Structure 1
């Protein structure tokens, strides 16, 4: 398969099945992070990931990491921790701060440069990108951000400055998201952290089929209004001891 260079005057992408096997999922290069191109990508199961200052790379890996909210893992220790109510949670109150914190989180470097920050800020201001914030008092100590595509949420990055902050963000977001009809969270590529929360891999073909269906299910506008999130600790599923 030949890597495709995107045209400057078009937001069209090659079919995800054309992506390379090595590196897994690399589909295209070039283009930009304007709102039309980003939305075109996400609605086709494609996302950007590249080093700052380098050419933009577009990916659609096989398999795909996803989290079905009913399958989320809450260990007994995390459940006990959350029931102490150590943090408070908000939605879309500090999007730019969350993205900035995600960029600072990686000791090995980050792919979140100024181009990414500007592109996703534009998506946020148009209602397509959202953030979850975790607060200790007035201090932002954790969070996550991503892009909503109907009843699918494409998670992009998360950060944690205090114990369990990003785990709590995912759990509280799952409650809020499913309450309004959300069905699936895209985690892109599986890693130990997302796997510990219940994410698993499915074939790309299955993911694209789900995307085609879920992208047509728009959630109520009030789902994404800036708001405080109220945890419902009694609804947290518990991981069996043999799976902790």
Structure 2
């Protein structure tokens, strides 16, 4: 007889992230999830985020508005709005509960009142676990990550976990590290508190660019 797997709850997800694993689903309609623990983990060192000249120019000229935690479920829906997605209804519901508990957060990019990009993730201690991002305009996801990385740095976070490394993330300063190194960084980050709301104002494009240039 097979053991019954534990019920999926927000508390189980929090414990899983603290242990270094995260959930995925095979498809949008699959109610089951599986746990992932990559041998090589993608991270963005918070002092190595890269803003290219073209992105800096676009940030300075842009009239888009950035916000945090004002449209979490819409950001998740935007991230899931693709032909193939691991964000199932089960995962959507669980992370929505994590947001209600103050554990999950989002960054939004607005063109007037239209959501054109964003990213979301989980915060534990001084670790932030980036889950997904989306873009409906050129550079929208890059801007979301630029503001998010700056915000995490200013709020005292020490680890920005991206799970996997994609060419898109690599162009922004993302790297891969072995599982053992990731676990060591995660352990330290979980011991140090950070507060996503300790910085209440949204930084200007110039401030994000200047601080990123100074640290990278």
Correspondence 1:36 to 2:11: yes
Q: State the partner residue of 2:63.
A: 86
Q: State the partner residue of 2:202.
A: 229
Deviations 1:136-173 (A, max 9, x none): 11110000000001111100000000110000011111
Residue pair 2:155, 2:196 contacting (<8 A) in 1 also: no
Paired with 1:68 and 1:217, the residues of 2 have a C-alpha distance of 16
Query: Which structure 2 residues correspond to residues 76-115 of structure 1 after superposition, within 5 A?
Result: 76-104=53-81, 106-107=82-83, 109-115=84-90
Identify the range of structure 1 (37-46 vs 174-183) with the bigger mean alpha-carbon deviation.
Answer: 174-183
The count of residues paired between Structure 1 and Structure 2 equals 209
Paired with 1:39 and 1:236, the residues of 2 have a C-alpha distance of 30
Q: State the partner residue of 1:16.
A: none
Aligned residue among 62, 65, 89 for 2:42: 65
**Distance 1:76-1:47 versus aligned 2 partners, 3 A rule:** same
Correspondence 1:55 to 2:32: yes
TM-score (norm 2): 0.90
Residue pair 1:142, 1:169 contacting (<8 A) in 2 also: yes
Residue pair 1:91, 1:228 contacting (<8 A) in 2 also: no
- CA RMSD of superposed structures (Å): 2.0
Residue pair 1:143, 1:166 contacting (<8 A) in 2 also: yes
TM-score (norm 1): 0.80
Q: Which runs of 5+ in 2 are unaligned?
A: none
Q: Which runs of 5+ in 1 are unaligned?
A: 10-30
Q: State the partner residue of 1:182.
A: 157
Q: State the partner residue of 2:128.
A: 153
Q: State the partner residue of 1:202.
A: 177
Paired with 1:189 and 1:45, the residues of 2 have a C-alpha distance of 13
Q: Which has the larger radius of gyration?
A: 1
1:219: how far off? 1.2
Residue pair 1:71, 1:198 contacting (<8 A) in 2 also: yes
